[in-house]
């Protein structure tokens, strides 16, 4: 057996390669859960309600006509699938102008805003939300005839961060 192939002093550079790689990597995915965050859940729906009122502009929302698909339990709070769509047929004379999604207790409740046009012919979107805790998700859609449609659903999110 040849022992001369053994290095005399075997120093291991642990971490050096890792640190270099880390700098180049996006901070994302599961490991994000380990990073400290200043994100804080909203104490209540007040901020969400304020944004909703601004969107409504005094119009009373209708509880029919906007469908929301949201799982009752979020396996992964960092990517909760959500689909929202206007159920009635949209035409060149009737379209959805604007649609907002509110994650009521997230630090910034306005998750996103969509705008469509008379050319779109549909208002049917899906996306993935990251949720800081269990909460209600709310969607409001304004049609070109002035009506505002509303849908809500609650989602149970497991404990732990959501990468926010």
Partner 1 sequence: MSRPPRLWISSATPAKGEIIRVRVQIQHVMESGFRLDWNGAPLERNLLTRFEARLNETLLMEWEPGASISQNPYVEFAFAARESGTLRMLWLDDRGMRLEAEREIILSPA
Partner 2 sequence: MIKRRSFLIGAAAGAGVLGLNGGRLLAAPSVLSSSVQLMPREGSGPRIVICGGGWGGLTAARHLREEIPEADVILLERNPFFWSCPMSNKWLIDVVDTAFLTHDMLAPAQAHGYKLVHCEITEIERDKKQVRTSRGVVDYDYLILSGGIRNDYEAWFGNDQTAIEQTRRNFPSAYIPSSEHIALKNKLKNFKGGVIVMTLPPPPHRCPPSPYERACLMAWHIKTNNIPGKILILDPKPRIAPIGAGYKAAFDELYPDIITHVPNARVKSVDPFNKRISTEAGDFDFDDAVLMPPHQASDLVWRADLIGKDAEGKPTGWADMHPRLYHANSDEDVYIVGDSMGAISPQFGHYPKSGHVANYIAKIVARNIAQRVRGEEVVAELPDNLCYMLVNGDPLEAISVEFLYDVGPDGLVRQTQIDIDVRTPDLMDEDFVWIKGMFDDFLV
Q: Could you list the residues that contact partner 2 (CB under 8 A)?
A: 1-2, 5-8, 10-19, 21-22, 25-26, 28-31, 34, 75, 79, 81, 128
User: Which residues, 6 or more positions from 122, have their beta carbon under 8 angstroms from its beta carbon?
Assistant: 85, 86, 90, 116
Q: Closest separation between CB of residue 57 and partner 1, Å?
A: 18
- Among 103, 139, 141, 143, interactor with partner 1 by CB under 8 A: 103
As a whole number of angstroms, the distance between CA 93 and CA 58 comes to 23
Q: Which is nearer to partner 2, 19 or 60 (CB)?
A: 19
Q: Which is nearer to partner 2, 101 or 141 (CB)?
A: 101
CA distance between the termini of the chain: 56
Instruction: Write down the residue that tokens 């909203």 correspond to.
Output: 42
Give the H or E element holding residue 16: helix 16-24
Task: Say which entry of partner 2, partner 1, none residue 17 contacts (CB below 5 to 8 A, set by partner kind).
Answer: partner 2
């Amino acid at each position: 057996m040849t022992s001369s192939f053994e290095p005399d002093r075997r120093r291991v550079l642990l971490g050096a390669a890792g640190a270099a790689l880390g700098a180049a990597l996006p901070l994302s995915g599961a490991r994000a859960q380990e990073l400290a965050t200043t994100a804080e859940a909203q104490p209540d729906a007040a901020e969400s309600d304020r944004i909703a009122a601004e969107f409504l502009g005094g119009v009373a929302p209708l509880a029919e006509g906007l469908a929301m698909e949201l799982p009752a339990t979020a396996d992964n709070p960092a990517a909760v699938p959500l689909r929202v769509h206007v159920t009635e047929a949209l035409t060149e004379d009737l379209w959805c102008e604007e649609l907002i999604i509110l994650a009521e207790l997230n630090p910034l409740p306005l998750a996103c805003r969509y705008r469509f046009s008379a050319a779109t012919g549909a208002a049917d979107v899906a996306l993935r939300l990251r949720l800081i805790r269990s909460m209600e998700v709310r969607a409001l859609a304004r049609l070109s005839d002035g009506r505002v449609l509303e849908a809500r659903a609650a989602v149970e999110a497991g404990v732990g961060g959501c990468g926010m």
